[in-house]
C-alpha cells in the first residue's frame, strides 16, 4: 500500500571528494581522485588540518574522516591531498538542485550535499511507482552531472534520511513504517539521526546498544534523564516524525552557506578554515546578486545537535569577503562554547542594493569599498573560470591564530 505522503532524501556519495575529482578532470587531470588514495584536507603544502573527505582507496589504508592530515600521511605516504573548495561544491550542489527542480518544486535543501523532496504530488504522473522515479532521478544525476547519490524513500523525512544511509554508493533504499523493525532496529544506536557521541555514551551506560533497544525503552525514563531530547529521540527510534518539507521562498530575504561535517570540529584553526571557505562563497553569491548585507551571522550545531548562533549588524552593508570573514571569526570567537561542532554556517541578512560607500582610514590596506569590490569581482571571475584552487586567499593556505591580520 502506498502511504499518504512519500518523501525522498537524496544524499551525495562522498560529496567533497567526488566534486573535487570532477573539477580536476574538467581541468585536464588524468587522475580521478575517486580511484586513488586521496583526501580533501586543509593545507596540502604544510599538511596541516584534518581530513574532511576521503576516497574509497584511502579508506582501505585506514584513513578516517576527521583525523589529522599528518596521521593520514603516515598511513599512506603517497596519498593525494587537495584543499576544500566550497564555491565548487556550491556549484555542483546547485546543478543537482536544478536537475531535481525539473521533477518538482517541492524541495528542501537540507545541506550542501543533501535534500528532501516531497514527491506526493507526483503520484498520478508516475502511477505510484516511486521506486522507478527514484532510480530515474539517481541515474540522471549520475549520467548528466557525473557523481552518484543515494536516495532514501519513506513516508517521513526521518525515515527517508535513515534509508539513504544504508548501503552505498549509488543505491535506492526504502524504509517504510512496516520495515522499521527489520531494517532499522538492529542498527547500533549511534546510527540514529540526532544521536551524537555524548548521548551515545550515555545510552551505552544504560544498556541501550541498538535503535531497537532505544525504541523499547520507557519514554518516561528517557524524558527524566534527557528532558525534551529524550522524547524526541524515542520518537525517532520508533520512526515518528511529522515535520514538513520546507521549500525555499521565492524572494531572498537572507543569503547563507553552511556545511555539515562528518567529524567533530574541536579546534579554532579548522573552524577558521571552514569559515573562510563559507565566507568566500557567501561573498561571491552576494556580488552575483548585486546585494549588500547589513547583518552577518555565524550558525553552529554541536555533536548533541544543539544549535546556537550569534549575529552582528555592521556599520555599512557589505558584499566584501574580507569583511564577512573577519566578522564571522569575531562572532565565532564570541559564541563558540568549545564544544564539538558538527555544522557550521555563515549567514547574511538585511540585504540591500545600494550600499553607503565610505573610506575607512583605519583599514589595514586603506582600500575604498569600490576598489575592494573590483578586487573581489576579479577573484570571482578567476575562481569561476579555473576553480577555487587557482586563487586562494592567504588565510586559506596559512591560517594564523591572529584573526586581526588581513586576509588578502
Residue pLDDT, tens place only, 50-81: 888 899 899 999 998 888 899 999 999 999 99
Is residue 114 part of the annotated active site? The answer reads yes
Number of domains in the chain: 3
With respect to residue 249, please indicate whether it lies within any of the assigned structural domains.
no
Q: Say if residue 104 is in the same domain as residue 161.
A: yes
Is position 246 within any domain? no
Shared domain for 303 and 166, answered yes or no, is no
- Domain shared by 174 and 227, yes or no: no
3 with 104, same domain: the answer is yes
Is position 245 within any domain? Answer: no
H-helix or E-strand containing 7? strand 7-12
Concatenated DSSP letters of 131-169: HHHHHHHHHHIIIIIS--EEEEEESSHHHHHHHHTSS-S
pTM, two decimals, is 0.72
- Is the distance from CB of 333 to CB of 403 less than 8 angstroms? yes
Helix, strand, coil % (nearest 5) of the chain? 40, 20, 35
What does pLDDT average to over the chain?
A: 85
One domain, residues 162 and 227: no
Q: Is the pLDDT of residue 368 over 90?
A: no
Judgement on whether residues 201 and 179 belong to the same structural domain of the protein: no
Say if strands 80-82 and 38-43 run parallel, antiparallel, or are unpaired. parallel
- Is the domain of 230 the same as that of 275? no
| Omega within 30 of 0 (cis) for the link into 169 | yes
| pLDDT tens digits, 67-121 | 889 999 999 999 999 988 877 888 898 899 999 999 999 999 888 889 999 999 9
Residues 31 and 148 in one domain: yes
Instruction: Give the pLDDT of residue 407.
Output: 36
pLDDT in tens, 157-206: 999 999 999 999 999 999 999 999 999 999 999 999 988 888 899 999 99
Among 184, 205, 220, the domain-final residue is 184
pLDDT-based confidence at residue 44 (cuts at 50, 70, 90): low
Characterize 166-197 residue by residue with b for buried, 16 or more Cβ atoms within 10 angstroms of its Cβ, and e for exposed.
beebebbbbbbeebbeebbbeeebbebeebbe
Q: How many CA atoms lie less than 13 Å away from 336 in the CB half-sphere? A: 23
Q: Residue 113 class from Cβ within 10 Å (0-12 exposed, 13-18 middle, 19+ buried)?
A: buried
Q: Which domain holds residue 328?
A: 254-397
CATH of the domain at 204: 1.10.150.20
pLDDT digits (tens, 9 = 90+) for 229-285: 999 999 999 999 999 998 754 345 677 767 767 677 888 888 888 888 788 878 888
Which pLDDT band, with edges at 50, 70 and 90, does 401 fall under? very low
3 and 141 assigned to the same domain: yes
What percent of the chain has pLDDT above 90?
56
In a domain, 60, yes or no: yes
Same-domain status, 234 and 259: no
Is 243 domain-assigned?
no
Look up cell 570571482; give the residue: 380
Indicate whether 407 belongs to any domain.
no
User: What CATH number does residue 281 fall under?
Assistant: 3.30.1490.100
CATH number of domain containing 75 = 3.30.70.270
Confidence class for position 11, pLDDT limits 50, 70, 90:
very high
Best CA proximity match to 346, nearest among 217, 258, 406, 281: 258
Residues 272, 348 within the same domain? yes
Helix (H) or strand (E) holding 346: strand 341-352
| Catalytic residue selected from 20, 23, 108, 114 | 114
Same domain, 92 and 72: yes
Amino acid at each position: 500500500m502506498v502511504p499518504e505522503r512519500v518523501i525522498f532524501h537524496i544524499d551525495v556519495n562522498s560529496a567533497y571528494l567526488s566534486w573535487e575529482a570532477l573539477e580536476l578532470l574538467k581541468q585536464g587531470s588524468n587522475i580521478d581522485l575517486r580511484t586513488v588514495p586521496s583526501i580533501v584536507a586543509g593545507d596540502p603544502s604544510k599538511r596541516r588540518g584534518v581530513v574532511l573527505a576521503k576516497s574509497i582507496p584511502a579508506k582501505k589504508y585506514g584513513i578516517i574522516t576527521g583525523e589529522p592530515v599528518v596521521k593520514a600521511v603516515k598511513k599512506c605516504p603517497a596519498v593525494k591531498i587537495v584543499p576544500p573548495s566550497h564555491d565548487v561544491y556550491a556549484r555542483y550542489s546547485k546543478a543537482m538542485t536544478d536537475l531535481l527542480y525539473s521533477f518538482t518544486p517541492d524541495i528542501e535543501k537540507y545541506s550542501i550535499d543533501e535534500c528532501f523532496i516531497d514527491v506526493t504530488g507526483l503520484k498520478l504522473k508516475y502511477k505510484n511507482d516511486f521506486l522507478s522515479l527514484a532510480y530515474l532521478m539517481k541515474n540522471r544525476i549520475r549520467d548528466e552531472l557525473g557523481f552518484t547519490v543515494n536516495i532514501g524513500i519513506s513516508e517521513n523525512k526521518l525515515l527517508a534520511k535513515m534509508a539513504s544511509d544504508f548501503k552505498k554508493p549509488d543505491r535506492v533504499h526504502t524504509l517504510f513504517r512496516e520495515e522499521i523493525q527489520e531494517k532499522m532496529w538492529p542498527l547500533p544506536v549511534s546510527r540514529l539521526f540526532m544521536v551524537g557521541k555524548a548521548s551515545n555514551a550515555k545510552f551505552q551506560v544504560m544498556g541501550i546498544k541498538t535503535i531497537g533497544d532505544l525504541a523499547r525503552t520507557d519514554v518516561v525514563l528517557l524524558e527524566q534523564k534527557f528532558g525534551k531530547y529524550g522524547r524526541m529521540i524515542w520518537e525517532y527510534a520508533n520512526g515518528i516524525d511529522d515535520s514538513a518539507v520546507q521549500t525555499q521562498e521565492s524572494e531572498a530575504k537572507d543569503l547563507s552557506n553552511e556545511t555539515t561535517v562528518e567529524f567533530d570540529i574541536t579546534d579554532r584553526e579548522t573552524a577558521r578554515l571552514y569559515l573562510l571557505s563559507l565566507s568566500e562563497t557567501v561573498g561571491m553569491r552576494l556580488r552575483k546578486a548585486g546585494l549588500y548585507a547589513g547583518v552577518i551571522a555565524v550558525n553552529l550545531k554541536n555533536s548533541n545537535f544543539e544549535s546556537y548562533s550569534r549575529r552582528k549588524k555592521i556599520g555599512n552593508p557589505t558584499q566584501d569577503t574580507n569583511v564577512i570573514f573577519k566578522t564571522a571569526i569575531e562572532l565565532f570567537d564570541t559564541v563558540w562554547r568549545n564544544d564539538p561542532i558538527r555544522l557550521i554556517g555563515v549567514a547574511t541578512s538585511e540585504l540591500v542594493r545600494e550600499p553607503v560607500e565610505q573610506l575607512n582610514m583605519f583599514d589595514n590596506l586603506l582600500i575604498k569599498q569600490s576598489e575592494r569590490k573590483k578586487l573581489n569581482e576579479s577573484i570571482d571571475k578567476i575562481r569561476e573560470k579555473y576553480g577555487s584552487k587557482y586563487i586562494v586567499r592567504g588565510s586559506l593556505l596559512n591560517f594564523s591564530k591572529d584573526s586581526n591580520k588581513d586576509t588578502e
